[in-house]
Amino acid sequence: MTSERQRQEVDRNYDAFVRVLGTILPEHRDQLALMREGRIVDYFDTPRAALGAAVQLFPDGIFSIQEVTDEPIDLGFWSHVGH
């Protein structure tokens, strides 16, 4: 079950992601952005790599992963990958 804190983190990260998308798109198109506290922590080429890093860096499960693409997609629960 998604906690309120997880939902808030996903919402905050998505809002921050949409604001910077235009600047990161040329260099990071089709990569995955690992996010926490409204910041992009790193970029990854595969979902497995992004999730592996997220689990190691954030064992509390409070993070989100967003695909860098022309059309931002709010995946809601699915943009949050946690425990």
- Tens-of-pLDDT digits for all 83 residues of the chain? 468 888 899 899 999 999 999 999 999 999 999 999 999 999 999 999 999 999 999 999 899 999 999 875 655 544 544 44
- What span, in angstroms and rounded, lies between the C-alpha atoms of 26 and 28? 6
Q: What pLDDT does 83 receive?
A: 41
- What span, in angstroms and rounded, lies between the C-alpha atoms of 28 and 45? 9
- What span, in angstroms and rounded, lies between the C-alpha atoms of 65 and 75? 9
Which residue has tokens 């690992």?
A: 34
- What span, in angstroms and rounded, lies between the C-alpha atoms of 77 and 57? 20
Q: What pLDDT does 81 receive?
A: 47
* Cβ neighbour number for residue 39 with a 10 Å cutoff: 13
Instruction: Kindly list the domain boundaries of the chain, sorted by start residue.
Output: 4-79
